[in-house]
Amino acid sequence: METFNQLWSVLRQRVYNVSSSALEHAVSTESYLPTTMPSAFPSLRSIAKVALGSAQVALLSSGNTVSGGSPESCPNPQLSCHNTTAQANTCCFNTPGGQLLQTQFWDSHPATGPADHWTVHGLWPDHCDGTFDQYCDSSRQYTNITAILQSYGATDLLGYMDTYWKDQAGDDESFWEHEWGKHGTCISTLNPSCYTNYTPQEEVLDFFNKTVQLFQGLDSYSFLSAAGILPSTTQTYTSAQIQAALTAPRGVSVVIGCTNSTLNEIWYFYNVLGSVQTGQFESTGPDGSKSSCPSTGIQYLPKNLPSTPTDPSTSASTTTLPASTAPSAPFQGSGFLEVQASGKSQGCIISPGTWYIGGTCATFSATASGDGFTLTSSKGNCAIVNNALSCASSITTPGIFSTLGGNLAVGGDSAFYASAVPAGGVTRSLNISYLKALPVGTTVHVRSQLLQIGRTMTMIRGTIELTDGRQVYATVEHHKTHMPMRPEDEVPELKEKSKL
């Protein structure tokens, strides 16, 4: 067993730049709390096997036939965002969300999806000016996406999604529910009234099928590698290089997204001639959305980086984020708690349990306790107090800690959060709750979602946390729903998990 002072625990710490530009759309200012959730599963309907070409998979199993409705026929369709007169038939013309975005993720840590392939984020209907709607139909906030697709025989589609439409936190089903509820319900041509002989939730199949079809024609990894842009821990690229590589196959530019100068998202834009279900998708440029990557020094990190224990004497330039999320040997003996933020070593934990840069690291003692261990410093026992790491003589019952991939962990999670990187002699608390780490009234850009945190924090009763830098999870009584972020909205009691 490795001893505590040999291992030199690394606390993985997420710090989000409150001044960086947002990549995703803002959280909805509307709250939808349906009194009941749909429980009826769709009946079967006839549908031909989806032909996607020799390089692509058939999304419906060849032996499956299902019967029922079909999308409205559109004999004289108009191209969305290019019409000169108002279009009354929103079943054949996508409005107001006429600019369709196929969005993709590159998650290097924790790694998500194949090492040589980007993954699906979603299909978003923007207005033609870059604004957007979201959560457009509270009655269709479905929470059984897998069951819906299975009922239509879409086993091949589900199998593909299980590989390429991944949630970084591991909750694929909730991620799919989120993408459908936030974006799919705002696509006008997917309204149930646009189907003849409509069967319940058949539009869900069309949404996920079309999203995957578009994604299969947008092999971002191949686009980039063809231009010599490959994942690397040492090589950096310019925004112009990446844009040129992604523009070449389609003839129009894209939006690229970065977190801390690391490439992790691409948005491809389309206008549609006709409906989403049967229309022709025509490539177009961005609708006003801006890339969030710097002009130079962009990293494109490989997935599945090796785990490397961090010694305090090792320079920060050689420190890498550990990739393992498996439990590792408990700490024992005495040692330091070093913090790793933004992929490099940045200070350590001092005796009160707070984060400090530029001073002397405190010595902590680890003592085995059950399957984990306790920690003490010169200030006293350590525990999680009000969601933050704290060490004090007033703590009579020490907290039980564990390790994940060589990192200090609490409750099976090695992520800690702070409102900013400490500087100028200031210390920062390390929180296990993302929202608790934020100063009230700040705007925080989190991976692919913009959260406006203000007076609403005083309304939240229960726990709310960020998982792996992508989605915020909240617990909501009675139904899965979307936590409102407007101060005047009522916030229900918290009970079961839901995703914003």
| C-alpha–C-alpha distance, residues 469 and 286, integer Å | 25
Catalytic residue selected from 178, 183, 445, 482: 183
| C-alpha–C-alpha distance, residues 63 and 45, integer Å | 13
| C-alpha–C-alpha distance, residues 358 and 424, integer Å | 9
Q: Is 82 marked active-site?
A: no
Catalytic residue selected from 109, 121, 178, 445: 121
* Neighbour-count burial for 372-386, b at 16+ CB within 10 Å, e otherwise: bbbbbbebbbbbbee
Nearest to 338 by CA among 322, 323, 350, 320: 350
Q: Is 117 marked active-site?
A: no
CB 391 within 8 A of CB 381: yes
- Between vectors from CA 236 to CA 233 and to CA 240, what angle results, nearest 5°? 150
Catalytic residue selected from 72, 177, 179, 338: 179
Neighbours of 473 (CB within 10 A): 18
- SS3 assignment for the chain: CCCHHHHCCEEEEECCCCCCCCCCCECCCCCCCCCCCCCCCCCCCCCCCCCCCCCCCCCCCCCCCCCCCEECCCCCCCECCCCCCCCCCCCCCCCCCCEEEEEEECCECCECCCCCCCEEEEEEEECCCCCECCCCCHHHCCCCHHHHHHHCCCHHHHHHHHHHCCCCCCCHHHHHHHHHHHCHHHCHHHCHHHEECCCCCHHHHHHHHHHHHHHHCCCHHHHHHHCCCCCCCCCEECHHHHHHHHHCCCCCCCEEEEECCEEEEEEEEEEEECCCCCCEEEEECCCCCCCCCCCCCEECCCCCCCCCCCCCCCCHHHCCCCCCCCECCCCCEEECCEEEECCEEEEEECCCCCEECCCCCCCEEEEEECCEEEEEECCEEEEEECCEEEEECCCCCCCCEEEECCEEEECCECEEECCCCCCCCCCECCECCCHHHCCCCCEEEECCEEEECCHHHHCCCCCEEEECCCEEEEEECCCCCCCCCCCCCCCCCCCEEEEC
* Amino acid letter, 54: S
Q: Is 465 marked active-site?
A: no
- Which residues are known catalytic residues? 121, 179, 183
